[in-house]
Chain A
Amino acid sequence: MKVPFPGEIDRRLLNERSVSGRIGLQLQEIDVPEQPFPDAGLLRSVEARLPEVSQPEVVRYFTTLSAMNFSIDTNFYPLGSCTMKYNPKVNEEMAFLPGMAGIHPNQPDETVQGALQLIWELQQDLGEITGLPAVCLGPLAGAQGEYSGLMIAQAYFQDQGDFNRTIALMPDSAHGTNPASAAMAGLEVVTVPSDSAGNVDVEALRGLVDQRTCVFMLTLPSTLGLFEPNILEITNIVHEVGGLVYADGANLNALLGIVKLGDLGFDIAHSNLHKTFSTPHGGGGPGAGPVLVSETLASYLPTPVVDRNGDTYRFAAPDKTVGRVNGFHGSFGVLVRAYAYIRAVGAEGMREVSENAIINANYIRTALAEEFGIAADRVCMHECVLSPQAQKAKGVSALDISKRLIDYGIHPPTMYFPLIVPEALMVEPTETETKDTLDRFIAVMRQINKEIDSDPDLLHDAPHDTPNTRLDEANAARHPYLRWQPDDDLTAVD
């Protein structure tokens, strides 16, 4: 993407532009009698070398930087498993209302009844949508929701005197946070293979579950964008040995109003509000990863949750809570946005979201499966995984294809995930894209495919016009340069 102004972009850091004496803000004068300072030994002896720039410079700097980003607001962004859907602007306005952005987390409950009501209603709505009615909106991201869910599972078993449940089973296609969260929770990770159709190998699962099974963690639809045709059998197999079934809700955008996780036998789930429920990704967060459970497990939820008593709302600690996973009550600003989204979309609108997400993904799959290879040759849900092995055989990798897409102003799909698919390119268009955009994406992909034969260097050297071409990541890892140093030479890296 060409940055929308000609000439070299000035990549100097703020400290490199600083001039002694410049200020960016006029602060208020002191209006109380000055107090004696503590002993010099308590004071810092070295100044923090923060920038000295004027306000217009700050604005120009950050605005210019922003122009170097691709984003949903500017580009088609079909990142599989991330659900890069439109982030409604009204949600931003709601989150910044003084009554929402300007309340302190330690204020007494009676002064924040509106906020507590919002949290309570969101608990209800998410519980209803997923069919897992007991909800804690505290976890600050999906990974924290996962960790909370795994703690809940263990607490449940230990409460019954069963200290033997030490294993977390998950498919080989699981997202990296699943085994990472399981390890953090002190569980042993055991992988269940997928069959040739890309589904959980049910017989293998049957052979792997036993009395040590704490949870089976499953993403539904899977990370290949496929719904498990044997889902009821799967949850049954786990329940039969007394284990619990956990849903990684990252792909919930395919299931809204289509099916409820609770109905399928799931006991615990987390949802990513920054995916399914339209809250902005912000360049890497903030998110929110609520944990949702069946009534049986409600008393183990992390603290706090919001309870309602008549017209009054208050924070409460579940009786056997697994504890507190974060400083306050969760990412409230994110919760406001998700709440606004759900209220705007409404009951029937939910199903419309998923239906269109599914249609859009299948439209792309149908158009590109033959030319690029598809990980699973059947109907997908809200995302599809291409596997361009024929292209790889010609010396062009999924990475090369991805980088070439950038030259056409399209953000690459998710690359090399799931790990079980060679040269994986996971495409998730979402429901907020027009058919025109999808048609253009298809046309561009076909064009790129032709370029592989006519001029493969176009791909190998891509992207061409971005502020940086391919960056030397090996060097960045070998010789880490992680902060501004004075007397920086902008061209030297060591």
Chain B
Amino acid sequence: MATPDDRRYSDEHEWALFDGSIVTVGVTQFATDSLGDVVYVDLPQVGAEVVQFEKFGEIESVKAVSDLFSPIGGTIIEVNSDLMTMSEKVNEDPYSVGWLIKVEASDAESQLGTLMDAAAYDALTAEE
């Protein structure tokens, strides 16, 4: 699927969809393609703090574990609990039903500026 241009991206293959200061976070198609079937996602609790570009959880396929790095800093206000029983949603559509967490960003505007747009992300993945 084409990289949605309504959101921003980090070089750790995460996306951040901004709605004012509420930011939804997920992993990109590139990430799920290289991971394979996602079998488990280890996410923090609602209320936990996340720091931009630092590890906040883990995503597992059958034969691999990858760290999740948050593209945004702030407080987690919602976690996609569907993934506990239906981790396949991340593969189905990583950009919608496969979302991971929603964060109340501590500084949405300046953080947005540190992330790349769809075109820049596509350029990055074309190289890898």
Contact = CB atoms under 8 A, between A and B. Distances in A.
Q: Say if the two chains contact directly (CB < 8 Å).
A: yes
Interface of A: 416, 473-474, 477-479
B91 to A, nearest CB: 9
Nearest to A479: B85
B117 interface: no
Contacts of B49: none
A134 to B, nearest CB: 38
B60 interface: yes
Contacts of A416: 63
Interface string B58-94: 0011110000000000000000000001111000000
12 contacts: A473-B62, A474-B37, A474-B62, A477-B39, A477-B40, A477-B60, A477-B62, A478-B37, A478-B39, A478-B40, A478-B87, A479-B85
B82 to A, nearest CB: 12
Nearest to B36: A474
A478 B37 CA distance: 9
A479 B87 CA distance: 10
Interface of B: 36-37, 39-40, 60-63, 85-88
A416 B87 CA distance: 25
Given A474-B36, A477-B40, A477-B62, 8 more contacts: A416-B63, A474-B37, A474-B88, A477-B39, A477-B60, A478-B39, A478-B40, A478-B86
B74 to A, nearest CB: 30
Contacts of B88: 474, 478
A460 to B, nearest CB: 16
Contacts of A474: 36-37, 39, 61-62, 88
B84 to A, nearest CB: 10
A234 to B, nearest CB: 31
When A and B form their complex, which 4 residue pairs have the shortest distance between CB atoms, in order from nearest?
A: A477-B39, A474-B37, A473-B62, A478-B39
A479 B85 CA distance: 7
Contacts of A478: 37, 39-40, 86-88
Contacts of A473: 62
A473 B36 CA distance: 11
A158 to B, nearest CB: 32
A416 B36 CA distance: 16
Nearest to B37: A474
Contacts of A477: 39-40, 60, 62
A477 B65 CA distance: 13
Contacts of B85: 479
A417 to B, nearest CB: 11
A11 B60 CA distance: 30
A474 B61 CA distance: 7
Contacts of B61: 474
Nearest to A416: B63
A478 B62 CA distance: 9
Nearest to B91: A474
Interface centre among A416, A473, A477 (most CB of B within 10 A): A477
A277 B88 CA distance: 45
Contacts of B40: 477-478
Contacts of B86: 478
B125 to A, nearest CB: 20
Nearest to A472: B37
Nearest to A478: B39
A83 B39 CA distance: 32
A474 B37 CA distance: 6
A372 B108 CA distance: 52
Nearest to A474: B37
A421 to B, nearest CB: 16
Contacts of B63: 416
A479 B62 CA distance: 12
A119 B85 CA distance: 51
Nearest to B61: A474
Contacts of A479: 85
A483 B77 CA distance: 36
B113 to A, nearest CB: 35
B42 to A, nearest CB: 13
